[in-house]
A and B are shown apart, each in its own frame.
Chain A
Amino acid sequence: MIQQYFKQAWRLLKENPVLSAISIIGTALAICMIMVIVMSHQVKNAPYPPETNRDRMLYVKWMSSREKNSTNTGSSNGPMGYGFAKSCFKALETPEAVSIVSAFAPSAMVAMPGQNIAENYDKMLTDEDFWQVFDFIFIDGKPYTKADVDAGLRKVVITEKVALKTFGTTIVSGQRILIDYTEFTVSGVVKDVSALATAAYSQIWMPITTEILPEGGAEGISGSCRVFILAKHKRDFPAIKEEAEILRKKYNDGTTTYEAFYRNQPDTHFVFLHRKWANQEPDMKSIVRQSVIVLVLLLIVPAINLSGMMNSRMRKRLSELGVRRAFGASQKNLLSQVMWESMLQTLLGGALGLIFSYIAAYALKGIIYENSDMAFHLGEVTLNPVSLLSPAIFLYALLFCLLLNTLSAFIPARNVSHKPIVDSIHSK
């Protein structure tokens, strides 16, 4: 029966090519707008290299401290101290790995020894576990080790782009390189990382011990570091938080004036993306609510237009639908027929909309994906096809097609199926 419905729907589409094209393009644009938002969410949240483990990652972006046993409600907020990070997070036993990195990515001047021209690249200081937490693709060489970090050896991992610009080749491990006029040894070369990889992104990575990190005070709580935690399983999150809390209390027991507090961190990836301010927890309920409202509006506005077009089409077909009822179609049969027929149109529009959204994702990536954080980055926003062609994207597209179809076709379908048969048959 559904095959018959589709067959007829196809013929009806061909009968009114202009109206059909308008409906399909209308649907396509609606799906395109929605899918651009979904893709943007997916690109920022779905796992792909080097942030392959986003679903089992926890993040501590900022740290807060306040005076102990004081009526002063003020707090000091910002990145955490290296020592504090080691005591409260590196010491965690439940996770698979914990990495301490520099919170800010100032650019560094990079050149070959003896070269007069240097280029600016984004720099990040990390420990050895950074390479375990993230899944970088090494083109040449290998990451620096714990021994390198402990010894503060001047080793560096650079991206393919930096290697090509500096040396003209990517096979450069073991070679000398000048970073801010200091000589380093290239330990490895990795594939370029998109600025959309919010946590792992940089262009050069060096051991965190190669620079003297500014320690901000508050008995070591404040500083210039943040922490990335890789859990063995997502289900370990509560245990990790609990263990981190125990370590926090232990640390606070050793301080005299200040105590650290986490503001509900470590965060999951989704919360981490929305944690902007150091002194304020993100209102996730409000963020989710706003996203839902935007999606609902993007669905409802075109649905109302499509519903109007569907209504006028149905009026023209009233007589046919009356005849169908005379020959045994129930109200439910007609409702289902109209919904299936409309589904064909919505799916055609949906497929076209998905293509539009891929084009928009690449052509307008600067507008869609860049944000104020990225304004300080020298690297490019590149999109990983793996994240855009994931089954989840197709499922979302199908889901929104179904929703749009239901919103636009249900009321017209219900109206025609409930009309008196005689009135329907004799309508013109």
Chain B
Amino acid sequence: METMILLDKVHKIYRTEEIETVALENVNLEVRKGEFLAVMGPSGCGKSTLLNVMGLLDAPTSGKVIIDGKETAEMKDRELARFRNENLGFVFQSFHLINSLNVLDNVELPLLYRKTGARERRRLAEEVLTRVGLSHRMRHFPTQLSGGQCQRVAIARAVIGNPSIILADEPTGNLDSKMGAEVMDLLHKLNCEDGRTIVMVTHDESKAKETSRIIRFLDGRQIS
């Protein structure tokens, strides 16, 4: 299988005037295409930082981040934005939906930055919302939905642009077990049926065991 994400000697250090915090230390990681990878570890071990670096939301202090064969270090803001838009989809623990937009508009968001026509955006949003079982909630606002429904909207938003990689930061962390299971089912479908590469940060051992590989972090270092 070909490599989808490659982290080569990645360090991430947060510096303030008084303190220096090592969030990632010499991380060498390869995620293969179509893989469903779980990242585990205690709070503050660098899991989310790893996801942010993989998602090009944060730049490493040193080391290389290569995604789908492309070196990302030299990319300018516009290139990075375009690359994220076309290749990466994000699912956050607290959903991060935009409360002033309805479900359809939230899901359409990534397509706005691709200059897709309004009609096509609407068609794709309806299609993907139907797929996540929310065709009856399209005109609702996030505040009118349950946590599970919000996370399904967030997944719909993450996949509407057809990215090859989904980065999920504790996607079931704010959900009860039933809703968590529904979300995991959706992620599995995206992995198995669509062949998307998924990297999921989780604290939940049982959810991690459902994935194809687990890696563990401690104090910014990969320990297994």
Q: B58: CB under 8 A from chain A?
A: yes
Inter-chain contacts of B73 with A (CB < 8 A): none
CA distance A330 to B113 in the complex (A): 8
Distance of A320 Cα from B96 Cα, bound (Å): 7
A326 touches B58 (CB 8 A): no
Contact of A328 among B58, B92, B96, B161 (CB under 8 A): B161
A18 beta carbon closer than 8 Å to chain B: no
The 4 closest A-B pairs by CB, nearest first: A328-B85, A328-B113, A330-B81, A327-B110
Q: How many A-B residue pairs have CB under 8 A?
A: 71
Is the pair B81, A12 in contact by a Cβ cutoff of 8 Å? no
CB-nearest residue of chain B to A326 = B90
Complex Cα distance A8/B101, Å? Answer: 7
Also in contact, A8 and B58, with CB within 8 A (given A328-B110, A333-B113): no
A15 on the B face (CB < 8 A) = yes
Chain B neighbourhood of A328, CB < 8 A: 81-82, 84-86, 110, 113-114, 161
Once the chains bind, are A421 and B57 in contact (CB under 8 Å)?
Answer: yes
Residue on B nearest A324 in the bound complex, by CB: B109
Write out the residue numbers on chain B whose beta carbons fall within 8 Å of the beta carbon of A3.
118
Q: Which residue of the partner chain A has the closest CB to B109?
A: A327
Chain B residues positioned under 8 Å from A327 (CB to CB): 84-85, 90, 109-110, 113, 157, 161
Q: Tell me the nearest residue of chain B to A421, going by C-beta.
A: B57
The answer to whether A1 has its CB under 8 Å from any CB of chain B is: yes
With A328-B161, A421-B57: A11-B81 Cβ-Cβ less than 8 Å: no
Please tell me if A323 contacts chain B, counting CB pairs below 8 Å.
yes
Let me know if A7 is at the binding interface, CB within 8 A: yes
Which chain B residues border A8 with CB–CB below 8 Å? 98, 100-101, 105
Our pick among A4, A7, A12, A421 for the contact of B58 (Cβ within 8 Å) is A421
CB of B55 within 8 A of chain A?
yes
| Contact A425 B112, beta carbon cutoff 8 Å | no
Residue A420 lies at the interface, judged by CB distance under 8 Å to chain B: yes
Shortest CB distance B163–A (Å): 10
Most interface-central of A1, A320, A323, A331 (chain B CB within 10 A): A323
> A330–B84 Cα gap in the complex (Å)?
10
Beyond A328-B84, A328-B85, whether A319 also contacts B96 by CB under 8 A is yes
Q: What residues of chain B lie closer than 8 Å to A226, measured between beta carbons?
A: none
B residues at A contact (CB < 8 Å): 52, 55, 57-58, 77-78, 81-82, 84-86, 90, 92, 96, 98, 100-101, 105, 109-110, 112-115, 118, 157, 161
Of residues 282 to 340 in A, which have CB atoms within 8 Å of B's CB atoms?
Answer: 319-320, 323-333
| Closest residue of A by beta carbon distance from B58 | A422
Neighbouring A residues of B84 by C-beta, 8 Å: 325-328
- The answer to whether A323 touches B77, judged by C-beta atoms less than 8 angstroms apart, is no
Contacting pair B81 A320 (CB below 8 A): no
> 29 A–B contact pairs at CB < 8 A?
A1-B115, A4-B105, A8-B98, A8-B105, A11-B100, A11-B101, A12-B100, A15-B100, A319-B96, A320-B100, A323-B90, A326-B55, A326-B90, A327-B84, A327-B85, A327-B113, A327-B157, A328-B81, A328-B86, A328-B110, A328-B113, A328-B161, A329-B81, A330-B77, A330-B81, A331-B81, A422-B58, A425-B57, A425-B92
CA distance A323 to B82 in the complex (A): 14
A420 / chain B contacts, CB cutoff of 8 Å: 58
Contact status B112-A4, CB under 8 Å: yes
Q: Contact at B81–A333, with CB atoms within 8 Å? A: yes
8 Å CB contact of B52 from A323, A330, A422: A422
Looking at the assembled complex, report how far the CB atom of B155 sits from the nearest CB atom of chain A, in whole angstroms: 13
Question: Can you name 5 extra interface pairs (CB under 8 A) apart from A333-B81, A333-B113, A422-B57?
Answer: A11-B100, A323-B90, A325-B84, A328-B81, A331-B77
- Chain A interface extent, by class: 20 to 34
Measured CB to CB, the nearest residue on chain A to B106 is A323
CA of A416 to CA of B115 in the docked complex: distance in angstroms?
A: 23
Chain A residues contacting B92 (CB-CB under 8 Å) are 323, 425
Query: In residues 4-18 of chain A, which contact B (Cβ within 8 Å)?
Result: 4, 7-8, 11-12, 15
| Distance between Cα atoms of A420 and B109 in the complex (Å) | 20
B171 to chain A: closest CB distance in Å?
Answer: 15
Question: Within the assembled complex, what's the spacing in Å between the Cα atoms of A1 and B84?
Answer: 19
B13 to chain A, nearest CB (A): 14
Q: A327-B157, A421-B57, A422-B52 are in contact. Are A320 and B98 (CB under 8 A)?
A: yes
Task: Specify which chain B residues have a CB less than 8 angstroms from the CB of A7 in the assembled complex.
Answer: 105
Query: Which of B81, B114, B115, B118: most chain A Cβ within 10 A?
Result: B81
Q: Give a binary string over A205-243; 1 marks a CB under 8 Å from any B CB, 0 the rest.
A: 000000000000000000000000000000000000000
Which residue of chain A lies nearest to B121 when distances are taken between CB atoms in the complex? A4
Neighbouring B residues of A1 by C-beta, 8 Å: 112, 115
Report B52 CB to chain A, min CB distance, Å: 5
Check B81 against A323 for contact (C-beta < 8 Å).
no
Residue from B84, B86, B96, B100 whose CB has the most chain A CB atoms within 10 Å: B100
In the assembled complex, the Cα of A306 lies from the Cα of B130 at a distance in Å of 42
**Residues on the A chain within 8 Å of B112, using CB:** 1, 4, 329
Residue of A nearest to B101 (CB): A8
Q: Which of A331, A332, A422 has the most CB of B within 10 A?
A: A422
